[in-house]
Amino acid sequence: MQPSPIRLPSGVRDFLPRAAARRRSLAARALDVFEAWGYARVITPVFECADVLERGLGDGARAAAIRFVEPGTGEVVALRPDITPQIARIVATRLADVPGPLRLCYEGAVTRLAGERGQREILQAGIELVDDDADLHHDAEVLAIAAEVMARLELDGVGLDVGHVAPARHVLGAAPDPDARKALVAAISRKDRAGVRAAARVLPEQVRPLAEALVDLWGPAQPTLERASKLPWPDEVQAAFGEIGRVVVGLSELASAEPRVTVDFSDLRGEGYYTGMRFAAYANGAPDAIVRGGRYDELIGRYGRPLRATGFAIDLELVAEALHDAPEPRGAHGVAIWLDDASGWAIARALRARGIRAVVQLGVTASWLRGAGLDALLVQDRLAFADGTERVAGPAIEAARAGDIEPLIALIKA
């Protein structure tokens, strides 16, 4: 009997050393920004009891969750398709006695079913800012952190697309039945004027022109907000336009790297999940939004602690795709040691103690050196670098044998 072929499930992949190093570097840079803003990192489990996790999932994420029976208990558990509900559970239970505001950050993999493509594993990093009040300064802070992360990752063509759920909810709330609502969502999301006009025929007369106007309510922030506020929206929607205007101003005050900002009130993704501001961030080279986030004031209350919150998640795989042609991340210096006496082991120990990766290896080739991610080969009286250049290293090697490692470190770093 032939063994089954060696394969992976659909939608998951291995990351070999170079790809793994890039993703570790991206995550580390994102977390550095989060921690600089005062966000504390938490680590959550990759699966949870399904009924608990699903309290915090929207319809789409609930349908995408991969469930199985945990053998030890017989409980139905689910691989997390999103980390935010786990943060909500922690805030409501493990941190129930800690007053807000709470600033938490995370990074890890989420796993989802994705239609015909099957299971998908996505690397994420993100933040959640939790407090008693829906503070617009918090919304601006979250936007500013997203902008700073995009800058730290050295992405090109960065833009923030900001919106609010209020106008769409006013229009969709007037739909007479779920089918009419679904038709409106589809047409508005496509910015299909004719489709919106047709779908809006079932709406009250005073709501129809607002439904059609949603299709055009996108573009540069200030003029689009001015156009939106001139339409006959109810007071709560007009207030939402004012909120977005103040958040955009707050972003300009807080952000150290201010990207291009547009607003879009016809983007309905997350409409059933977010409760206020929602945003997405885009960059050249990525086929979809790299960052998605917004305000979700109802989620934590589902776990027993009615707090308000805002945050975002960044898709590290899309970032890696956008940076596909960028130079590889520069890790710690590294050297292979090929000497004809036992001093190589002592030199390797001394280098590692100073933060330089060191491998004692005989028979090293240039291709092996590059594949191992090392800078240079220390052999006889010279340093042979991965790019084909060489440096005389005899005096530095003799000093290292005598216990002085500094001249050799200087050569490697140079």
Q: State how far Cα 318 lies from the chain centre.
A: 9
Q: Which CATH class is domain 159-282?
A: alpha beta
CATH topology identical between 1-155+289-328 and 159-282: yes
**What count of other Cβ atoms lies within 10 Å of the Cβ of residue 329?**
15
pLDDT in tens, 55-80: 988 777 788 888 989 898 999 999 99
CATH superfamily label, 1-155+289-328: Bira Bifunctional Protein; Domain 2 (3.30.930.10)
Q: Give the pLDDT confidence score for residue 364 in this predicted structure.
A: 79
Q: Give the pLDDT confidence score for residue 241 in this predicted structure.
A: 95
pLDDT in tens, 249-303: 999 889 887 788 999 998 888 777 899 999 999 999 998 999 999 999 999 999 9
Q: Give the pLDDT confidence score for residue 256 in this predicted structure.
A: 82
Tell me 80's DSSP state.
Answer: -
| Residue ranges of domains in the chain | 1-155+289-328, 159-282, 334-413
Q: Nearest to residue 211, comparing CAs of 173, 261, 244, 246?
A: 173
Rounded to 5 degrees, φ, ψ at 196 are -65, -45
* pTM metric for this prediction: 0.87
Q: Give the pLDDT confidence score for residue 121 in this predicted structure.
A: 87
Q: Give the pLDDT confidence score for residue 29 in this predicted structure.
A: 94
Total number of residues shown for the chain: 414
**What is the distance between the alpha carbons of residues 11 and 35, in angstroms, rounded to a whole number?**
31
Low-confidence stretches of the chain (pLDDT < 70) are 115-119, 326-332
| DSSP line for 178-221 | HHHHHHHHHHHHTT-HHHHHHHGGGS-TTTHHHHHHHTT-EEEH
Q: Give the pLDDT confidence score for residue 388 in this predicted structure.
A: 79
Whole-Å CA distances, 153 to 104, 196, 298, 323: 20, 38, 32, 9
Given a contact cutoff of 8 angstroms between Cβ atoms, the answer to whether 255 and 144 are in contact is yes
CATH code of the domain made up of 334-413:
3.40.50
